[in-house]
Amino acid sequence: MLNENDLHRYARQIIIQNFDEEGQEKILKTKCLIVGAGGLGCPVALYAAAAGFGHIEIYDEDLIETTNLNRQIAHQNKDIGLNKAENLAEKCLSINPDIYLKPHKKNFDKSTNINSFDLVFDCSDNAGTKYLLNYLCHSFKKILISGSAVQMEGQFSVWKSGVNKNLPCYECVFPKTKETAPITNCREAGIIGPITGLIGCMQVNEAIKEIALKEYASMAGYLFLYDGLLQNLDKIKLSKKDNCLVCST
């Protein structure tokens, strides 16, 4: 049962069709892991906190720099030099003091007990972390909502290969190769702030649907590609790879 305070705080989303008080209770009970407190991690954490995800842990070892501020929207000029995970957790709590926030001043690695979470947001900017998160989320049957953004383009997906064996995993679609990947980091390729904001918001929108709604169309098994120059959002149906090293066994 929601208390008076919760009924008031979440009043505008509880009235959404298929959401109800039950949906809010589920959100409050959900344990979220957010990997990365940068361009994607900031909007993801702020909106997840505002929606009332009741337990949020954030991993990032980086310190806030001036060049982050065009997009990492929770970090302000006065915060330069502070740890990103700690600062983001503080900003989330200033929006919603009723939830539990735990920042980790280190990068996510395989020592993190992913089994203690219900939902994982991949807001990282490197391939190694994305493959590791995919492997762990598949193995422990967790919902993984990943995002990435570079220049004026972004993409996001919901991965549930551990929950439903007919669904593809990240590695089915993006198999590891020995070839040198094209430059996709923001430092070298550039990034427009609103792109990370949009993709991060879409990640939380999918999380709210997966957790709270009684009836909804899951977007697991699709890849969404957003082009900020042409204002296109492509929805691509993904298929499972027969010999995927992660999910086919």
Amino acid at residue number 232? N
Between CA 86 and CA 90, with CA 89 as vertex, the angle to 5 degrees is 85
Binding-residue total with Zn ion (CB under 5 A): 6
Q: Are 159 and 167 in contact (CB under 8 A)?
A: yes
- Compute the least distance from the CB of residue 134 to Zn ion, in Å: 8
- Compute the least distance from the CB of residue 9 to Zn ion, in Å: 39
Report if residue 247 touches Zn ion, rule: CB under 5 A.
yes
Stretch that binds Zn ion, among 27-35, 74-82, 110-118, 240-248 (CB under 5 A): 240-248
Report if residue 46 touches Zn ion, rule: CB under 5 A.
no
Task: Specify which residues 191 forms β-bridges with.
Answer: 151
Question: Cα–Cα distance between 177 and 4 in angstroms, integer?
Answer: 53
Buried b / exposed e over 46-73, threshold 16 CB at 10 Å, is bbbbbbbbbbbbbbbeebbeeebeebbb
Residue nearest to Zn ion (CB): 244
Chain positions 72 to 111 lying near Zn ion, rule: CB under 5 A, are none
Between CA 224 and CA 116, with CA 207 as vertex, the angle to 5 degrees is 125
Which lies closer to Zn ion via its Cβ, residue 8 or residue 165?
165
- Compute the least distance from the CB of residue 226 to Zn ion, in Å: 23
- Compute the least distance from the CB of residue 101 to Zn ion, in Å: 32
Question: Cα–Cα distance between 75 and 65 in angstroms, integer?
Answer: 9
- Compute the least distance from the CB of residue 138 to Zn ion, in Å: 7
Taking CB under 5 A as the criterion, the residue among 123, 172, 195, 204 binding Zn ion is 172
Taking CB under 5 A as the criterion, the residue among 27, 114, 169, 211 binding Zn ion is 169
Binding site for Zn ion (CB under 5 A): 169, 171-172, 244, 246-247
